[in-house]
Amino acid sequence: MHPILFVYHGKPIFTYTVLYAIAVFAGIFLIVLRAKREGFDPWEVLTAALLVSAAAKVGAQLYSVILMLIRHPIYNLSHPQRLWNVFKTGGAFHGAFIFGFLFGYLYLKHTFKRDWIKISDITFWAIPLIQAIGRLGCFSAGCCFGRPTDMPWGMVFPHLGIFRHPMAGVKIHPTQLYEALLNFANFLFLSWLWKRREFDGQITAHYLINYGLIRYFVEFYRGDAGRGGYIFKTSSPYLSMSLPQFLSIIMMVSGFLILRWGRSKLREGRR
């Protein structure tokens, strides 16, 4: 891991920040390029992508702040710097998804009218690649880390950003790499499905199902799962359910409902 990529005029440039920026710009570039091929105005799509990205970024951080206030309200309110420090991080993905999706739905439906679901498909086609690159940033920083393991691929993280890692000296699951590989595989699958899709919304549905599965199972191996909170917790991570897992179930159910809706519309159109 290399938390600091280089130093510029005495200031550290963090690898996480660089990879996060690469992920976002690469995703927006792909979204605009595919939207143009599908006949959309690239400038309208670019504007939408930038606005949704900004909403998702703020949402990710606000979500993290809300969770901190729910878990330890008195302590965090008496130490506001802890809350402010959240805005120096990437925040939580599910917060980005919730805020970004709600803002995106309202904005896209207003801007693109009946074609908003096509833009949704284009967006969710690119998101797994953004996530894959972003998780490499998490790997470089040591955040979103895993539980202790004796597996041969277990890794030791000496640092969490520029600080000492809470699991320093202990072999842990490289859950960042698990998600990076699985999200990249999801991107390849959705790219394969793109030319074979039968109805608008199919890509969106499969993204929700696939990422829901990815996050649900990777969460079993997260060593920082407590940061997201629990629906219920036991001594075994396999018999517990974290809040991200619960939200992942909602994503999967939503995806299956969209598939059911799309296929029913497809059958009606064939009659």
Q: Tens digit of pLDDT for each residue in 132-147?
A: 999 999 999 999 999 9
Residue indicated by tokens 């994503």: 251
Residue 117 pLDDT exceeds 70? yes
Reduced 3-state DSSP string for the chain: CCCEEEEECCEEEEHHHHHHHHHHHHHHHHHHHHHHHCCCCHHHHHHHHHHHHHHHHHHHHHHHHHHHHHHCHHHHHHCHHHHHHHHHCCCCHHHHHHHHHHHHHHHHHHHHHHHHHHHHHHHHHHHHHHHHHHHHHHHHHCCCCECECCCCCCECCCEECCEECCCCCCCECCHHHHHHHHHHHHHHHHHHHHCCCCCCCHHHHHHHHHHHHHHHHHHHHECCHHHHCEEECCCCHHHCEEHHHHHHHHHHHHHHHHHHHHHHHHHHHHC
> Distance from first CA to last CA of the chain, Å, rounded?
57
Residue 160: inside a domain: yes
Residue indicated by tokens 């904005």: 107
Rounded mean pLDDT of the chain?
90
Number of domains, the chain: 1
Could you list the residue range(s) of the whole structural domain that residue 83 is in? 4-263
Instruction: Tell whether the torsion through CA atoms of 165, 166, 172 and 178 is positive or negative.
Output: negative
Angle, alpha carbons 24-120-248 (nearest 5°): 80
Residue 68: the pLDDT is 76
Residue 235: inside a domain: yes
Residue 83 pLDDT exceeds 90? no
More confident residue, 29 or 81: 29
Residues β-bridged to residue 146: 222
When mean pLDDT is compared across 20-24, 31-35, 78-82, the lowest value belongs to 78-82
Residue 91 pLDDT exceeds 80? no
Residue 179: inside a domain: yes
How far is 70 from 243, CA to CA, in rounded Å?
Answer: 13
How far is 182 from 247, CA to CA, in rounded Å?
Answer: 18
pLDDT tens-place string over residues 178-213: 999 999 999 999 999 999 999 999 999 999 999 999
Residue 38: inside a domain: yes
Residue 268: inside a domain: no
How far is 160 from 12, CA to CA, in rounded Å?
Answer: 15
Residue 138: inside a domain: yes
- The model's pTM is 0.91
Residue 153: inside a domain: yes
